Amino acid sequence: MSKTYKAVNWNTPENDYVLMFWEQNIRQFWIDTEYIPSKDIDSWKRISPEMKDAYKKALGGLTLLDTLQSHTGMPKIIDHIDTLQNKAVLSYMCMMEAIHAKSYSTIFTTVSTTAEINDIFEWVQQNKYLQYKAETIDGYYRAIDKEDASEEEIYMAMAASVLLESFLFYSGFFLPLWLCGQGEMVASADIIKKIIADESIHGVFVGLIAQDQFKKLKNQDQVKARFLALLYNLYENELKYTEEIYTEVGLTAEVKEYVRYNANKALMNLGFDPIFEVKQVNPIVLNGLNTETTQHDFFSKKSTNYEKATEIVHLKDDDFKMDVVVDI
């Protein structure tokens, strides 16, 4: 036998943080059907056509990024993680990314016709700024799609993942939080807040693993410079994406400030100092974040709009008796 297969042993923690992240992920578990975005139908009727268009595009962009993370990002990174407990946490996070992508469709179904939804997904495929950030991040994931990936390639893939989780999502999150602060689309915002709570700890966890990976590198200065070049590149693209989404609703300047704020959060998750000047982030949006979680505070709560089935029907032996005769 050339390889010894090991079982994950949770009785002996592999590091001083993995069990905390596992338990917090479990406490935060949710699915989209526990929420009722249909409560927002009247609110949707009240907001302007321009706001509706921006909202749908923001959710479409978020769907693409969560799809990329669940189908490519997390699986590729997991392949290069040595510790089994870290793999387990990342596997759980990968599953939640798929739930996030599904959740946006739950909101879409409430507020849009099938034709409108199809138009949004066509827009996702055609928008050059959205496609650029997906292609850029995906390039770092694809670079480690091999057994002999270098330590630098693995680090850059992890760093790209942190940028996605802690930075690139947030231009899309801004509008649902902003509208919620105005008393609009509140039920749908509860789903968005759950997603943000998840993405927050995803960014912190992968950031910690990336920091451990960074310590293995002998050329740290060069790799840091390479990472910062990636960050600035994505930042410039994000500004253009923000302008395309938010100009018609007059929120471009506020969203750009929020983009810089979260770029600094991504840097801190990777152990680097903030580099972007942030004057003032819209307090309504920050309040929307803080009701669920912050980047370094892993407490979360269920919303008042949360509804979950509580009736338990116990199965009996008779339930398995079938009055069906099968001819063989």
The residues annotated as belonging to the active site are 104
Rounded CA separation 115/133 (Å): 26
What does the DSSP 8-state code read for residue 72?
A: I
Say if residue 277 carries a ligand binding annotation. Answer: no
Say if residue 100 carries a ligand binding annotation. Answer: yes
Phi, psi at 170, each rounded to 5°:
-75, -20
If you search the block for the tokens 């699986």, which residue do you land on?
75
Say if residue 80 carries a ligand binding annotation. Answer: no
82 three-class SS: coil
Rounded CA separation 192/242 (Å): 18
Rounded CA separation 177/284 (Å): 8
Say if residue 66 carries a ligand binding annotation. Answer: yes
Contacts 24+ apart (CB under 8 A), 190-194: 190/35, 190/303, 190/305, 190/306, 191/32, 191/35, 191/37, 191/103, 191/106, 191/107, 193/288, 193/289, 193/291, 193/292, 193/303, 194/28, 194/30, 194/35, 194/103, 194/292, 194/300
One-letter amino acid of 92: Y
Rounded CA separation 133/283 (Å): 27
What the block records as the tokens of 225 is 């410079």
Other beta carbons within 10 Å of 217 = 16
Say if residue 297 carries a ligand binding annotation. Answer: no
What the block records as the tokens of 144 is 């480690």
Q: Are 31 and 96 in contact (CB under 8 A)?
A: no
Say if residue 71 carries a ligand binding annotation. Answer: no
Annotated binding site for Fe cation: 66, 97, 100, 165, 199, 202
Known binding site: residues? 66, 97, 100, 165, 199, 202
